[in-house]
Amino acid sequence: MIKYICIATEMKLYLPYLKQLMPELVILGMNTKWEGFITKYKLLLAYLNDSKNSIKDNDIICFIDAYDVLPTKRINELEETYKVFEEAYPQVKMVVGYDKVENVFHEYLSKHIFGTIGNDDTRLNSGQFIGRSKNIKHIINYILDNTIEFKTDQIELTKYANQFNDDIYIDKEQRMFYVKSKPLQQVRMDNTRKSSFIHANGNGFLENFLEKEHGINVSRKELYNNYITNFQGCFRKLIIYDMIFINNIMTGINDAIIAYIKNIIEEFNELYNRMLYRNIKM
């Protein structure tokens, strides 16, 4: 049996739907102070080590980000999928999502901020991972014990993967985790994939996914609030990485940026039409 765990300090964005679709989900950190990305590892490690939670070393632990990850209809297949994978790759301690970015601008940011693995610019996405409890504790303990300045869990896990390449498997086939980076746009599921989770990486939206995959309609008010929250989050990221942002514009990717802005405008038109013409209660 898999134990599903996330870290969240507030019940916002897509977390209420995540909990609705997965009542067994364990939420750690609610109503506590967020102390940076190291909070994820500290809270998860404390939970796994607490004898009151009766977590055994060989229990399967699936960690997922709280605000932008939702289960697909294949969620019930994840345990068997992982066990089959484990037989084929017994040396792997943790399976993580594949951070594949379509947009040139976001690709540049991700590569230079979070780092890559190996020589082919592969990137992991730390917003979801699965493994046996003993192995997850080993990896987190090693990172915490050997990190002087903890920046983000993705940066630190990338460093670990480069040092212990056999321990980490990046799910490029998306057999477990479907990671899609479409900032400020609706993320749609590729139904040719057998993934158990979809992750709207980089401030993407999941209202269309909720409707088509699970038959859940989001109210106009909530739809608006989600857009505002994600815009604020995206703006904060641009402020943090403003020098990279400026440099990126100056290196000749204007066409890509224009195309990206065009996609955002199309998303807003879709949002506008949905809010005007769909019979959704506030």
Inter-helix orientation angle 242-249/104-114, to 10°:
140
Of the pLDDT bands very low, low, confident and very high (cuts 50, 70, 90), residue 235 is low
Burial 89-121, CB ≥16 within 10 A → b, else e = eeeebbbbbbbbbebebbbbbbeeebbbbeeee
Q: Average pLDDT for residues 115-134, to the nearest whole number? A: 89
Per-residue pLDDT tens for 167-202? 999 999 999 999 998 888 889 898 888 999 999 988
Between the two ends of the chain, the Cα-to-Cα distance in Å is 38
pTM for this predicted structure: 0.84
Residues 185, 211: Cα–Cα separation, whole Å: 15
For 98, 145, 195, 198, 252, the CA distances from 180, given in Å and listed in that order, are 9, 32, 12, 7, 25
CATH fourth-level superfamily of 2-214:
Spore Coat Polysaccharide Biosynthesis Protein SpsA; Chain A (3.90.550.10)
Per-residue pLDDT tens for 65-85? 999 999 999 999 999 999 999
Of all residues in the chain, what percent carry a pLDDT higher than 70? Answer: 80
